[in-house]
Amino acid sequence: MFIKYIKQYKFIALLFIIFVAIFWLILFLYNSDVEAVLYATFLCFFLTTILIIIHFNHFIKKHKNLQKCIDKANQYPLLINEELPVNTNIIEEDYNAIIQTILVNYKNQHAKAETSRLDMIDYYSTWVHQIKTPIAAMRMKLQMEDTDSNRALLTDLFHIEQYVEMVLCYIRLDSESSDLVLKNYNIDTILKESIHKHAGEFVHKRLSLEYKQTNRRILTDEKWLSFIVDQVLFNAIKYTKKGSITILLNDEDILIIRDTGIGISSEDLPRIFEKGYTGYNGRFHKKSTGLGLYLSKKVANKLSCRMWVESELGKGTSVYIDLHKAQLELE
């Protein structure tokens, strides 16, 4: 830091050296008393050293204050103006004027962007709720007659409902409000509701379900945990042509949803939670949006749940949701 300080004020240091050189040049030219010049030179060095120490301490304090401003600017950019140190010279006033101009422009752009974001959220929220009405009407009409064609259409309609829920989840996740209602819920109620939603899919694909009632209560948010379970089950059914899907809660309160589907390659496994990443199977089967697991992971983070996946290509996939971790962090 001292080296940086010297570099910043090198012109003053150079000027001081020049003055000392002039001092000694006059001594040489006029054959002045050496002791008098040495005394004057020593006195100048002494006073300069004291002034440098005082000024350097001021320099360090100002640097630390500016570092704090940088840290706060990363968290609260709109409040940075309140944290800036007092100007001590005209150059700092010029820099401060530049910051003020940038800050005003930023505030204006931020206000416009926030208004636009809120308008978009309102629009899509309204759209989601409006689209549910015709979906419900179509479901009722298709259920009036039990035919192979109607069952296939009901399956497609169920997929549409899932994608609509994904849209609603997507716009709510970045909301400034937490939107969390944490209570002790019976995990069986949440799981049975998701199983009931996917019952038609199980029947249509002739998949067996292995599920044993747990009679356990978990501290969580029912709506958000239901979304995760729905998305994981949706993927499990989608990528399982035959076999079974297992749902269980182990003794450590880790929810496991396991399928006997096509699995995930080892190359794709580290990236499955990335936004828009579909992997080889998603591209090959052309059924994946790359959003289901991404949103599920974001929701899990919101609930303070650890979520991970184990899979082997051609042998199935297991999704783990650590509900015990959420309870520990909340306590």
pLDDT per residue as tens digits for the range 235-283? 899 889 889 999 999 988 899 999 999 998 888 888 888 887 776 655 4
Q: Is the pLDDT of residue 285 over 70?
A: no
Are 37 and 27 a contacting pair, CB within 8 Å? yes
Q: What is the mean pLDDT of residues 153-167?
A: 84
Give 184's strand partners.
Answer: 219
Confidence of residue 87 (pLDDT cuts 50, 70, 90): low
pLDDT at 233: 93
Between 29-33, 40-44, 223-227, 268-272, the lowest mean confidence (pLDDT) is in 29-33
Confidence of residue 331 (pLDDT cuts 50, 70, 90): very low
In a 10 Å sphere around its CB, with 0-12 CB exposed, 13-18 middle and 19+ buried, how is residue 311 labelled? buried
Is the pLDDT at 38 greater than 80? The verdict is no
Average pLDDT, the chain: 82
> Higher model confidence: residue 225 or residue 83?
225
Of all residues in the chain, what percent carry a pLDDT higher than 70? 86
Residue from 101, 107, 105, 98 nearest 79 by CA: 107
**Tokens describing residue 46:** 């002494």
Q: Average pLDDT in the 293-312 region?
A: 90
For the stretch 193-206, pLDDT in tens is 999 988 888 888 88
Q: What is the pLDDT of residue 74?
A: 66
Query: CA angle, corner 322, sides to 246 and 319, nearest 5?
Result: 40
This prediction's pTM: 0.63
Residues 6+ apart with CB under 8 A from 110: 78
Q: What is the mean pLDDT of residues 17-26?
A: 80
Q: Which of 3, 15, 9, 7 is nearest to 55 (CA)?
A: 9
**How confident is the model at residue 304, as a pLDDT?**
86
Answer yes or no: is pLDDT of 189 > 90.
yes
Mean pLDDT of 57-86: 72
Please report the pLDDT score of residue 82 as a whole number. 59
> pLDDT value at position 83?
60
Residue, of 162 and 176, whose pLDDT is higher: 162
